Structure 1
Amino acid sequence: MGRIIHFEIPSADPEVSISFYKNVFNWEVSRWGDEEYWLVKTGEDDEPGINGAIMRQRDPEQPVVNTIEVANLEKAIEAIEKNKGQIVVPRMAVPTVGWLAYFKDPNGYISGVMQPDADAK
């Protein structure tokens, strides 16, 4: 069973968004690498919930995206396409994290699918 493991909040002004979420929800935020991508810790690991990220918005229509963990990304992509979904960003490595693709479901909503793999490059 696939579970949502990560969310991404796009922002035209990440600094404003970071300040908002820190002040309102007390989230911990740290920059990830050299990208305009900030990891968000929403709570303690032993509490229910997931962590995510705030990222620089790449498109005015870019939605908040949830990412679902899968055991095998290629099989998940096949199942998405077989069930009238559409891959909108093909398989790519997230170094030291895993393999990621983005898809639209039959209603046009975008989500991500990720196969964890610490060796991804």
Structure 2
Amino acid sequence: MGKVVGFEISSQNPEKAVEFYSNVFDWKVADPQWDYWAVNTKGEDVGIGGGISKGPTDYPHGTRIQIEVDSIDDSIKKAVDNGAAVVRDKMEFDSFYLAYLIDPTGVGFGLVQRK
């Protein structure tokens, strides 16, 4: 629990960001789904995957880490009890749940629970 499992780069011009990161760092980028381009940074070495997305109005640009947790509901409650604010409550996807929060210092992060 608490392992950083990914990152998300939010951009108002995600196509340009995809082109930049794939050209400069040779990241492998998948075709988009829901304005989200999955990114493989690993190559032959160890690294974390992530994605580039069309930034929403509440997070138009920037990078946030995604932290894997055993229970997203318990982790949201614990984070809020310790001063975090929920930006997007638990969302359900095919194989995981995802929520976005802001810590007490203003840094955004995601919580991920695999199904």
Return the TM-score normalized by structure 1. Answer: 0.85
> Is 1:106 equivalent to 2:99 in the alignment?
no
Q: Which residue does the alignment assign to 2:72?
A: 73
Q: Which residue does the alignment assign to 2:38?
A: 39
**CA–CA distance in 2 between the matches of 1:85 and 1:14?**
28
Question: Could you tell me whether the CA contact under 8 Å between 2:12 and 2:60 is conserved in 1?
Answer: no
**CA–CA distance in 1 between the matches of 2:76 and 2:56?**
23
Counterparts of residues 76-87 of structure 1 (less than 5 Å): 76-87=75-86
Q: Which residue does the alignment assign to 1:8?
A: 8
Q: Which residue does the alignment assign to 2:51?
A: 53
Question: Could you tell me whether the CA contact under 8 Å between 1:8 and 1:52 is conserved in 2?
Answer: yes
Q: Displaced runs of 4+ in structure 1, greater than 3 A?
A: none
Letter in 1 for 2:65: N
**CA–CA distance in 2 between the matches of 1:29 and 1:37?**
10
Identity %: 33
Match of 1:99, SS state, is strand
Question: Could you tell me whether the CA contact under 8 Å between 1:4 and 1:66 is conserved in 2?
Answer: yes
Question: Could you tell me whether the CA contact under 8 Å between 1:66 and 1:111 is conserved in 2?
Answer: yes
**CA–CA distance in 2 between the matches of 1:21 and 1:63?**
14
Match of 1:49, SS state, is coil
Kindly tell me the number of residue pairs found equivalent between the two proteins. Answer: 114
* Cα root mean square deviation, aligned: 1.6
Q: 1:64 deviation in Å?
A: 1.2
Deviations 1:51-106 (A, max 9, x none): 00011122374431111000111110111011111111111102x22111111111
**CA–CA distance in 1 between the matches of 2:32 and 2:60?**
23
Return the TM-score normalized by structure 2. Answer: 0.89
